[in-house]
Amino acid sequence: MNVLVTGGAGYIGSHTVVELINARHQVIVVDDLSNARIDVLDRIEEICGRRPEFYQMDCADKNRLQQVFIHHRIDAVIHFAGFKAVGESVKKPLAYYRNNLDSTMTLLEVMEEFGCRKLVFSSSATVYGPDNPHPYKESMPAVCSASPYGWTKVMIERILKDYATAHPNFCAVLLRYFNPIGAHVSGLLGDDPNGIPNNLMPYIGRVAGGKLERLTIFGGDYPTPDGTCQRDYLHVVDLAIGHLKALEYAESNHGAEAINLGTGKGTSVLELVYAFQKVSGIQVPYVIGPRREGDLPAFWADAEKAKRLLGWEAMYTVEDMCRSTWNFVRKNK
């Protein structure tokens, strides 16, 4: 298949591009490089022996996106492009709504114009909001979020459901990611955010690599076994493979289907720190600080639907996620 990957130079996008190329798909990447580096393409080529076609552009630029569809007969799209920093979205809500919604609407209009009817969308477990009990099931109401970033996911899911209702041949798979961490086994691709990381694993990586002094654990008094928050961490390579399974599903189905991608298991912040120390042999100094506003004590996925509809299950362990992160940190000092 000719697969267009928006945001394909980013953290999850690049790992997905590798799996697509390895599965012999023709991959066309669109990325404005606002939160990714151009050398990711060299690294993908080093891993796969093949380089994806690349267009540096904003996918809300309709004229340029139409040109991409003219040059390539696009069979399916995986849509990652979007702003994703939760805290920043609270400070810059308009930028988040404008960017994330515009790019999706433009993409859908161009897909419609060129008769492209398969879309895999990168959604998030944040759509379950604070009121649902965990494990989160796709049948629960997913209509709320704690941040403008999360609201863009809720809104885009709604747009895709309405679009699929109006176009019975269209298929959208809304993949609700839990907490993707880890890196490619080569150490060439991984999560390397600009500035000080907001998310836990890249922060641990910077502390272990000597770039930051210590980790602050946000809250040690949650109603969890060790007092720290629990999340459903999953390996980014498992997540990437989930996208290939979702593409296969979209080939023979219609409608908009929301599917969780998680392991179905909760891991606490302290458990993750200990697992990282064990596999790396490096101490990660930490202090317990105050809670971070908006954090939920614990949530993880009900992962049954992904197994049933996609035949997908996470394979990698928390140790694998830590080992691959450490390998990425060491190789990219």
Q: Which of residues 73-112 bind ligand UD1 (CB under 6 A)?
A: 84, 86
Q: Which of 192, 295, 302, 313 binds ligand UD1 (CB under 6 A)?
A: 295
Pairing of strands 215-218, 230-231: unpaired
- CA–CA separation, 148 vs 159, rounded Å? 16
Exactly one of 59, 229, 258, 322 binds ligand UD1 (CB under 6 A); that residue is: 229
Q: Is 200 in the site for ligand UD1 (CB under 6 A)?
A: yes
231 binds ligand UD1 (CB under 6 A): yes
Query: What's the gap between Cα 239 and its chain centre?
Result: 8
Q: Note every long-range contact of 30-34, with CB atoms under 8 Å and residues 24 or more positions apart, other chains counting.
A: 30/4, 30/5, 30/6, 30/55, 30/57, 30/59, 30/65, 30/68, 30/81, 31/6, 31/7, 31/55, 31/56, 31/57, 31/81, 32/56, 32/57, 32/58, 32/59, 32/81, 33/9
Helix (H) or strand (E) holding 96: helix 93-113
108: nearest Cα among 151, 75, 150, 60? 60
Residue range at the interface with ligand UD1 (CB under 6 A); choices 71-79, 134-142, 186-194, 195-203: 195-203
Per the residue annotation, which of 11, 149, 163, 222 is the catalytic one? 149
* 3-class secondary structure, 87: helix
146 binding ligand UD1? (CB under 6 A): yes
Question: In the bound complex, what is the minimum distance in angstroms from residue 68's beta carbon to ligand UD1?
Answer: 27
- The interface region with ligand UD1, picked from 102-110, 193-201, 246-254, 318-326 by CB under 6 A, is 193-201
1, 218, 224, 248: which one contacts ligand UD1 (CB under 6 A)? 218
Q: Is 142 in the site for ligand UD1 (CB under 6 A)?
A: no
Stretch that binds ligand UD1, among 31-39, 41-49, 62-70, 213-221 (CB under 6 A): 213-221
CB 219 within 8 A of CB 229: yes
149 classed as catalytic: yes
The CB-of-59 to ligand UD1 minimum distance in angstroms stands at: 20
Interacting residue ranges for ligand UD1, rule: CB under 6 A:
84, 86, 124, 126, 146-147, 150, 179, 198-200, 203, 215-218, 229, 231, 269, 292, 295
